[in-house]
């Protein structure tokens, strides 16, 4: 176990550099250790599944080793087994491994939703979130479609660990190159044939591909079917299912023209170039011997054990901190912590006091008894290590500290805190930290990072409800989602002269069990009115005058609909928090999980805030999502998060909402809070096929004949009832620490963000229509000053010598507000554009400080002039550019030229 503990320390050092990853993976020499594969609690018990996971990793390791030129292999893997599966002598208790920080999730089978995929929310080269598999896939039921499980694991591992993207394109299967259609693939040497597929009732029939005479491309039913026998060795990110494919595309054989995610996201780099630039690659050299087989640890989740370690030092009298801590602690004990959890309570000043040994929560009596042990008097100094050591002692009386949790809250400085870092590492406990106020110990974040805990920060601004949000976020990292406490609302206001705080809270059908309305105040009890959706006023609030709070537990399942509240008070701060649990164990609740891309933000590097909104596996689309980021100064910045596939958002309509944060105002801690409302439910199915997954192979050519695979169960648009779902959620996104922020006035060092969704279409035989999402003045905020559009017949010249390429006249192209849709039509000039010419286009945005964005993704058009038709066609749909959109982005003279050109082409078409 010594190597495990030393490798955890290596992980800590890596985390402290600022990269945020909950993963426990470390690269030890050439072997990956600490990989966690977790079986979802809703997967039916099947011991064979454990062996199938082992077989997949064992098969994957030598494949990875050869694919990376003898550089990497899988050394050790932990398999997390659900608590509700039978216990066995060889199952041990986890340490820091949880479902939340698992690298691979094995989720229940769902028809049409069984494709292996990896969540990726970052840029090229940034680590992904999680790999998703199903039992059917692991059992080998998808071999023909995806290939061997070990090979698929390596494909997904490249997404997860190195941030590369797919080299196929489900939506755009063909593109024009020199006037001829090509299948999107990497490398171009992969051979195959085109066939049109018609699929119905579980089987497919082949036909002849139809050629679109206007575009020069095949119609959408056409598929590229590869030969089963190939000699080509690349690429794993196109089709690892081809037997001969054993490597990644390199700079030499990479298909730069193919319109796929790898080219779009990685600036035309091959997957091997991205992998070669990774930190993993830089710190290793090829091995001279073959690696050993992977080793496996079988870990079974046990009962949750939590010890609260709460500061009661003298400084806790400031800003009503002690009382606010008790309000938040009460919410945690009364509501957040799950039934059957063992909970202990330690308080500390310069010494530690055990307020309660571990007690299992089996009833409201247990919750009340623990709540009564919260501290009432603040005095003394601050010794954090004393509190932690006391918590370890409390836990060890009943259980080993491995996998136990400590919630550490402090507002004080303590320069001796690093003295117990080694004990913390040795304990195997997870430490969640709550930094309260401006002076809390700087080393707190290190405790959370080295143990995989949640780090949060709460200011003294009581109306922001930061302390309650921090404790509300501490539901189990292992329990079934149906058991977790879900925050529906968190709001506060400072009221004067009998002012009212009015509003509604939506209880949707996915929640309603154990619903709790909690009101807090700072001086005297406000007037409290609450009505359920039928208009019935709710009585029965339990009032705790000592802690200045009142709460109402709604019996059974709370009514679905809008609950209306009105609170009235004078000269004090009032807050409202509403929490609930899933209404049923079988209906997944809508959940919001949020985080920042890094633990530390160093000015002028922007931060990115993410909010992932789902119901089970299904993304929730078109929600209204807002992030509120509060600095150590108490200043708040509000961001609307977007799922538009532009700016900070990696993928459109995947249920992950993102935005850049650049509004630094001081060094120190910043807290993050998310509000989410409304949304479109995708009826238990994904709205779009998941990106970043292994390609579903429609069939193979064997011995000159096409052999088709069973069709994918696609989400047919007519089957998916996209219905509006009314819901409200709040979620803590934890905290981050900013550094290097200059004193005001803060200089503008933020350029516009990179344009990542540039698309080009040819209209007629000379007009090019561009669309993209507008960047801002500062990344994706505000308005850029101008665009620079350049074109070239060489894709590499455009990328590498952008400033030397032919510039398009954009004099009258005024950038719109960030995240607006931009449309621009132009005719290429000063460049040969003839039949069969491939033309490449890219954009940079420039802000008022003359800072330029990175070059955009490169869009392509290929001039295809069809043979003259034998008979004239009066059909308007064959006329190039019949519905030209005249808008402010097209100069007036340019419009006349375009219309004149269009009339000439219309004449030719009708001739």
Cα angle value 679/683/687 (rounded, 5°): 75
Burial of residue 652, with CB atoms counted within 10 A of its CB: 0-12 exposed, 13-18 middle, 19 or more buried? middle
Q: What are phi and psi of 759, to 5 degrees?
A: -130, 145
What residues contact 217, with CB distance under 8 A and at least 6 apart? 174, 175, 176, 181, 211
Would you state the structure tokens that stand for residue 169, as one six-digit string?
A: 């394109």
The owner of tokens 């590869």 is: 226
CB atoms within 10 A of CB 20: 17
Burial of residue 537, with CB atoms counted within 10 A of its CB: 0-12 exposed, 13-18 middle, 19 or more buried? exposed
Cα angle value 11/338/325 (rounded, 5°): 75
Cα–Cα distance, 590 to 774 (Å, whole number):
31
What is the β-pairing status of strands 572-582 and 486-495?
Answer: antiparallel
Would you state the structure tokens that stand for residue 297, as one six-digit string?
A: 């640890």
Judge whether 611 and 641 are in contact, CB under 8 Å: yes
Q: Tell me which long-range contacts 794-798 makes (C-beta under 8 A, separation of at least 24).
A: 794/840, 795/256, 795/257, 795/268, 795/838, 795/840, 795/858, 795/860, 796/256, 796/268, 798/840, 798/841, 798/842, 798/858
Cα–Cα distance, 784 to 348 (Å, whole number):
53
CB atoms within 10 A of CB 486: 25
Cα–Cα distance, 679 to 677 (Å, whole number):
7
Instruction: Note the residue count of the chain.
Output: 911
Distance of CA 613 to the CA centre of its chain: 9
Peptide bond into 890 cis (omega under 30): no
| Nearest Cα to Cα of residue 715 among 653, 658, 657 | 653
Cα–Cα distance, 300 to 94 (Å, whole number):
7
The owner of tokens 């980021």 is: 629
Q: Which sign does the torsion angle of CA 389, 391, 396, 399 carry? A: negative
| Nearest Cα to Cα of residue 855 among 840, 868, 865 | 840
CB atoms within 10 A of CB 461: 17
Q: What are phi and psi of 800, to 5 degrees?
A: -90, -20
Number of continuous H segments (helices) and E segments (strands) in the chain: 17, 47
Cα angle value 642/643/646 (rounded, 5°): 85
CA 488, 493, 495, 501: dihedral to nearest 10 degrees?
A: -30
Cα–Cα distance, 184 to 226 (Å, whole number):
12
CB atoms within 10 A of CB 2: 6
Q: Confirm whether 83 is a catalytic residue.
A: no
User: What count of Cα atoms within 13 Å lies in the side-chain half-sphere of residue 260?
Assistant: 31
| Nearest Cα to Cα of residue 624 among 506, 501, 758 | 506
CB atoms within 10 A of CB 313: 23
Distance of CA 230 to the CA centre of its chain: 37
Judge whether 244 and 250 are in contact, CB under 8 Å: no
Q: What is the distance in angstroms between the CA of the first residue and the CA of the last residue of the chain?
A: 82
Give the SS3 label for residue 295: strand
The owner of tokens 């004090």 is: 572
What residues contact 571, with CB distance under 8 A and at least 6 apart? 495, 496, 497, 523
Judge whether 567 and 321 are in contact, CB under 8 Å: no
How far is it between the farthest Cα atoms of the chain? Answer: 96
Q: Which of 33, 107, 115, 156 is catalytic?
A: 156
Q: Give me the active site residues, please.
A: 156
């Amino acid at each position: 176990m010594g190597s495990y503990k030393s490798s955890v320390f290596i992980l800590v050092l890596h985390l402290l550099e600022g990269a945020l990853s909950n993963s426990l993976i470390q690269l030890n020499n050439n072997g990956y250790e600490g990989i966690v594969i977790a079986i979802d609690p809703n997967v039916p018990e099947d011991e064979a599944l454990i062996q199938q996971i082992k077989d997949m990793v064992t098969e994957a390791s030598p494949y990875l080793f050869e694919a990376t030129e003898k550089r990497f292999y899988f050394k050790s893997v932990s398999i997390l087994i659900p608590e509700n599966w039978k216990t066995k002598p060889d199952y041990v208790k986890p340490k820091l491994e949880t479902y939340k920080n698992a690298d691979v999730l094995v989720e229940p089978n769902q028809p049409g939703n069984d494709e292996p995929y990896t969540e990726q929310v970052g840029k090229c080269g940034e680590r992904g979130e999680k790999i998703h598999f199903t039992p059917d896939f692991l059992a080998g039921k998808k071999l023909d479609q995806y290939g061997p499980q070990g090979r698929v694991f390596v494909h997904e591992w490249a997404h997860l660990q190195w941030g590369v993207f797919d080299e196929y394109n489900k939506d755009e299967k063909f593109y024009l190159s020199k006037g001829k259609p090509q299948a999107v693939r990497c490398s171009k040497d992969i051979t195959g044939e085109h066939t049109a597929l018609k699929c119905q009732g579980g089987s497919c029939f082949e036909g002849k591909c139809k050629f679109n005479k206007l575009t020069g491309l095949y119609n959408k039913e056409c598929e590229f079917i590869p030969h089963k026998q190939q000699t080509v060795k690349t690429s794993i990110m196109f089709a690892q299912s081809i037997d001969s494919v054993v490597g990644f595309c390199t700079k030499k054989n990479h298909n730069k023209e193919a319109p796929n995610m790898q080219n779009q996201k990685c600036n035309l780099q091959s997957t091997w170039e991205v992998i070669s630039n990774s930190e993993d690659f830089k710190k290793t050299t090829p091995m001279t011997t073959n690696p050993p087989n992977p080793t496996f640890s079988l870990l079974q989740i046990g009962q949750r054990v939590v010890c609260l370690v709460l500061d009661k030092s003298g400084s806790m009298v400031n800003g009503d901190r002690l009382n606010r801590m008790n309000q938040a602690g009460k919410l945690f004990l009364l509501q957040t912590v799950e039934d059957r959890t063992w909970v202990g309570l330690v308080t500390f000043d310069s010494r530690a006091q055990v307020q309660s040994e571990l007690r299992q929560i089996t009833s409201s009596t247990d919750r009340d008894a623990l709540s009564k042990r919260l501290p009432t008097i603040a005095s003394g100094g601050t010794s954090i290590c004393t509190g932690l050591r006391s918590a370890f002692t409390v836990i060890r009386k009943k259980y080993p500290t491995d996998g136990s949790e400590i919630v550490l809250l402090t507002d004080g400085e303590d320069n001796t805190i690093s003295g117990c870092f080694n004990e913390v590492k040795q304990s195997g406990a997870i430490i969640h930290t709550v930094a309260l106020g401006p002076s809390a110990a700087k080393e707190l974040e290190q405790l959370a990072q080295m143990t995989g805990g949640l780090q949060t920060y709460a200011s003294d601004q009581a109306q922001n409800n930061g302390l309650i949000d921090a404790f509300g976020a501490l539901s189990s990292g292992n329990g079934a989602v149906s058991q977790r406490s879900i925050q529906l609302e968190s709001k506060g206001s400072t009221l004067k002269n009998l002012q009212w705080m009015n509003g509604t809270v939506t209880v949707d059908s996915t929640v309603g069990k154990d619903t709790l309305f909690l009101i807090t105040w700072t001086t005297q009890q406000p007037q409290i009115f609450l009505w359920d959706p039928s208009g019935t006023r709710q009585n029965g609030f339990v009032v705790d005058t000592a802690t200045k709070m009142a709460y109402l537990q709604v019996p059974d399942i709370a009514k679905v609909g809008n609950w209306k509240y009105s609170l009235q008070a004078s000269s004090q701060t009032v807050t409202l928090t509403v929490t609930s649990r899933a209404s049923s164990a079988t209906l997944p609740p809508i959940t919001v999980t949020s985080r920042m891309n890094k633990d530390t933000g160093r000015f002028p590097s922007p931060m990115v805030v993410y909010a992932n909104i789902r119901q089970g596996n299904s993304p929730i689309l078109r929600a209204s999502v807002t992030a509120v980021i509060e600095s150590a100064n108490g200043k708040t910045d509000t961001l609307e998060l977007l799922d538009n596939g532009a700016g900070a958002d990696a993928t459109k309509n995947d249920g992950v909402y993102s935005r850049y944060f650049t509004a630094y105002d001081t060094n120190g801690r910043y807290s993050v809070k998310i509000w989410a409302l409304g949304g479109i439910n995708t009826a238990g199915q994904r709205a779009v096929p998941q990106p970043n997954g292994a390609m579903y192979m429609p069939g193979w050519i064997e011995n000159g004949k096409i052999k088709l695979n069973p069709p994918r169960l696609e989400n047919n648009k007519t089957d998916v009832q996209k219905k509006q779902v009314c819901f409200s959620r709040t979620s803590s996104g934890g905290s981050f620490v900013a550094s290097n922020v200059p004193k005001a006035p803060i200089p503008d060092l933020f350029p516009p963000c990179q344009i990542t969704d540039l698309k080009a279409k040819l209209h007629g035989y000379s007009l090019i229509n561009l669309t993209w999402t507008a960047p801002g003045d500062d990344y994706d905020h505000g308005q850029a000053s101008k665009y620079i559009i350049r074109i070239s017949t060489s894709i590499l010249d455009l990328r590498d010598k952008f400033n030397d390429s032919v510039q398009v006249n954009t004099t009258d192209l005024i950038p719109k507000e960030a995240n607006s849709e931009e449309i621009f039509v132009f005719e290429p000039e000063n460049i040969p554009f003839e039949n069969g010419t491939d033309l490449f286009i890219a954009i940079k945005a420039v802000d008022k400080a003359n800072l330029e964005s990175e070059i955009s993704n490169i869009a392509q058009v290929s001039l295809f002039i069809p043979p003259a038709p034998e008979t004239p066609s009066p059909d308007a749909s064959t006329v190039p550019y019949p519905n030209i959109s005249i808008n402010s982005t097209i100069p007036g003279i340019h419009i006349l030229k375009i219309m004149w050109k269009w009339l000439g082409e219309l004449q030719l078409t009708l001739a």
